[in-house]
Structure formats: structure tokens, C-alpha cells
Structure 1
Amino acid sequence: MRLTLDDDWAATVTDDPLHSTPRFDFPGQCVRIAEYADVTEWQRFLVQTFGSREWLWDAPDELRFDQAGRELVGAGFRLPYEAADAEDSARVPAVPPVHPGGLRADAARDFRLKVTTELCRAPGDAVLTCLRDLDVLDEPLEARIGIAPDVALLVQHGTIVGWSLTDPARYLTTGFAAPDPAPPAPTTRLLLTECLDLITTPLLDEVRRRDPAALARLRELDHSLRSQREDRHRADALLSLIGNLVEDYADRPTGQQP
């Protein structure tokens, strides 16, 4: 299969997916797939690869390719803050199944991969599906390319129209840190759902307006995360963002801007 991105930029699907463990950087609200472990290694990685990347005020999603073989060697995707309603989320098709594969760029030059705008959440947040727009749901998907463990690109009409992360709780972390290799605690999965409720629309808008009920829910979630004794690495990843929201909206006097 051949995919077209950014008008005239194209890549061919291969049989070689990435084997790196995804990192769901919760405070950064992004999913990274690469081997770099800190900022220095990340900057070196960008110099040694080409593709779509952040540049000044522009922050597209990222697909990075090796200069020599033009093979996909890393990716980064940002979660949308716009959450689709349950009715639209239920329309996300279950087929076709994920087929593991990588990408090989037709040419060694940069391009731009637009960020997705709609977050579709499966029951229990077992899968997060991020789409270019909800119009994608009006037609069948052509393919799901599993570029890394539990991460797939969604293809329609030969174009990438979204991506998905299965079992997001497993990959919770902060920054460049590797996720805890142990399975997530059941409590963590429940807390992830509560966190996703609060950091996406429409509840996020209520928090920003300082709606009393929304702020009470935010404070209660903050307390639950601080009190959790097990699975601390993942709980701390969730708390990194929720704690900031508490500081900006629940603890700051009314009238002060965060």
C-alpha cells in the first residue's frame, strides 16, 4: 500500500513495524514512539532523521525516517482536547483489523503531518482513537497499520486520517521516561478515565469557568491520585497534569488568570 501525506509526499507500507514501547506522556498529552531517553538524545535524533516535526509555532504530529534507508524510526502524536460524544465514539469501526507494518518514504525530505482534532474514547478507555475530523466515520477505513505495539495509523483513501492507542493506561508516563513494565492496577484504569473526562471538552470548559461542581470533582480526583499507594509511576503521571489544573483553577482566587 502507498500512502500520500502533505499533498505530494508519499510513503510505502512495509512489513517492519517499530518495536519501541510507546510512551503516553500524560502531562504533555502526547504519545511518543522512539528510543531517545532525554532532550539531548531527542535533539540528536531529529538531526539524524527527516520527516514531520515541530518547528517554531507549528506543532504537527511527527513521523521520522532514517536518512539512509528512509525507513520509519520514530513517531509522535498529540491528543486532541476535543472529545467526541459517546454516539460518535461508538461509530468508530472495528474493522479492518490491525496489520503490523512500517513505512518507507519515497524521498528523503521533510513534510507536514496535521494533528488530529477529535478524540474518540472506547468504553473504559480501552482504546483512544484520534481522528482528523468526524467525517472520517462516514466511510469505511481502508487499513489499520500497526506501526508499534498497540499503536496504529488509520488509513482512508490512501491517506492517514488518524491513529489509535490500545490500552493507554499501560503506557502512562511523563516526558521521556519509559512506562512501568508491570501491568497497570485496576484503580489506575479508573483514574485514567476520570482524568480524561476532566481534561477534555465539555468538562474541561466547566473547569476553566470555575464551575463549583467541576472544581469539586477536580479536587476529589487530585486527592485520589495523591492517596493511591500502588502503581505510583502511573499515578504520578496523571497527577502531573491534574495537579496543575488544581493549582490554576481550584486554588487560584477567582478573577486571577492562570
Structure 2
Amino acid sequence: MKITVGDAMIAETTDRPLTSTPRFDFRDLQLIVAEYADPAGREEQLSDTFGSMQWLWSQDEHFRFDRGSRELSSATFFVPQLYVSVPPGRTARDRPRTRACGLRAGAAREFAMPRTTVFHCPPEATELLCLQDIDILDRELDARLGIAPDVALLVQRGAVVGWSIGDPARYLTDGFHDPQPSLPDPATRLRLAECLELVSSPLVDLVMDDDEEAWRRLRATEHALREQRNDRQRAEILRGVISRLIEDYDPEPRS
């Protein structure tokens, strides 16, 4: 199967998906699928790969292909800033089964891969879905390409139009650290869905505007994370981001 990746790159599927465990860095709202373990490793990889990257004045997803084999080597996705509420039936409409595969670029050259613009995460955080446009859900998908464990590219009309990760709480981490090997507590999944909505528009805009209901929800989530007894490491990752939001914008700062 051949697909268009970004503005002009044509790639074909292979039978070799990435095997790296995804890392959902909640502090920077990015999903890292790569073998490198730190920013220095990411920089070192650049000389041996080609693809899309965040260059000056650009806001691209990071798709890097090996210069020798032209096969996908790593990917970094960024969660967009706009949360959208979607009826359950709409997200489930005409969704093909995920097919595990890798990608091989048709040519060794740089290209642009603009970031997605909207995201949705249901209350139970079963999936994080990021799309170029919400109207994508009104049309059938051609394919869901599982390029890494629980990570899929969404293909429509022959082009990549978004990405998803199943059970995102499972891969929660801070920076480049490996996620916890254990399954997340159900409470963590609920808090993750709440936090994603709180740190994105339109709710975060209401927080900054001192909206009473938005602040009630923000403080309730922070309290729930502070009091959560199980799955403490993941809970602290979420609480760290929410606490910084409170510190930065609290209309009633504590002395």
C-alpha cells in the first residue's frame, strides 16, 4: 500500500513496524516513538536520517527515515491545543481494523508534515485521537496503520490525516523516561482525560480568564490526583502539570 505522508512524500508499507515502546511525555504533550533516550540522542540521529522535523518557523511532526534503507526510524507526534467533544458513535464510524506495518519512503529527501489541529480523548481515556480536521470523522478511513505498539496512522483518500494511541495512560511519562511497565489504574485513565481537556482550548482559556467553573474543575482534578493512592508515579506526572497551571494563573494565590 502506498500513502502520502505530509506535503509530498510517497511511502509504501512494509512488514516491519517500529518496536520501541511509545513514551507519552505529558509535560510537553508529545508522543515519542524512538530508540534514543534523550535530546542528545535525537540530535545524533539527524545525520543518519531524513524526513520532517521542526525547523525554523515550522511546526512539523517528526518523521525520520533511515538514509540507507529509507525505512521509518522514529516518529514524534505533538498533541494539538484544541480539544473537541465527539459523540461516541461518530468516533467509531467506519473505522477499519488496525494493520501492523512499517513505512519505506519513496525518496531520501526532506518534507513537511504539519501537526494535527484537533484532538479527542473519551472520559475513560481508551484512546487519544489527533486529527488534521474534525470533519475527517464524517468520511470513511482507508486504513489504520499500526506503526508501533498501540500507535496508528489514520489514512484517508490515500494520505495520512491523523494519528492515535490506544490506552494513552499506559505510556504516560515525563520527558524521555520509559513509562511504567504496569497497567494504569482506572482512576489514572479518568484523570488523564480530565487533564488533557484542562490544559487545552477552550477550557484552558477559561482558566486564564478566571472562569469560576473552570477553576472548580481544575482544583477538583488536582485534589483527586493528590489524594490518589494507587499508580502514584503516573498520578504525580499529571499533577505536576496541573499544579504548574494553578501556580501560573491562580486568581487567589496562597500566601
TM-score using structure 1 length: 0.92
Per-residue deviation, 1:33: 0.2
| 1:91 alignment partner in structure 2 | 90
| 2:43 alignment partner in structure 1 | 43
Per-residue deviation, 1:94: 5.2
Cα displacement string for residues 132-180 of structure 1 (whole angstroms, at most 9, x for unaligned residues): 1022122210000000010000001110001111001100001101100
CA separation in 1, counterparts of 2:195 and 2:140? 31
- Report the AA paired with residue 224 of structure 2: S
Does residue 141 in structure 1 map to residue 153 in structure 2?
Answer: no
Distance verdict in 2 for CA 1:117–1:7, change over 3 Å: closer
Per-residue deviation, 1:115: 0.6
Distance verdict in 2 for CA 1:7–1:56, change over 3 Å: closer
The residue correspondences of 1:48-127 to structure 2 (distance < 5 A) are 48-87=48-87, 90-92=89-91, 93=93, 95-127=95-127
| 1:256 alignment partner in structure 2 | none
Per-residue deviation, 1:123: 4.7
CA RMSD, Structure 1 to Structure 2 (Å): 1.7
1:90 and 1:122 in contact (8 A); partners too: no
- Report the AA paired with residue 112 of structure 1: A
TM-score using structure 2 length: 0.93
- Which 10-residue stretch deviates more, 169-178 or 235-244? 235-244
Cα displacement string for residues 187-216 of structure 1 (whole angstroms, at most 9, x for unaligned residues): 211211221221233322211111122223
The residue correspondences of 1:174-193 to structure 2 (distance < 5 A) are 174-193=174-193
User: How many pairs does the alignment contain?
Assistant: 252
Q: Which runs of 4+ in 1 moved over 4 A?
A: none
SS of residue in 1 equivalent to 2:170: helix
- Report the AA paired with residue 248 of structure 2: D
1:117 and 1:133 in contact (8 A); partners too: yes
- Report the AA paired with residue 67 of structure 2: Q
CA separation in 2, counterparts of 1:117 and 1:200? 12
Percentage of identical aligned residues = 48
1:82 and 1:200 in contact (8 A); partners too: yes
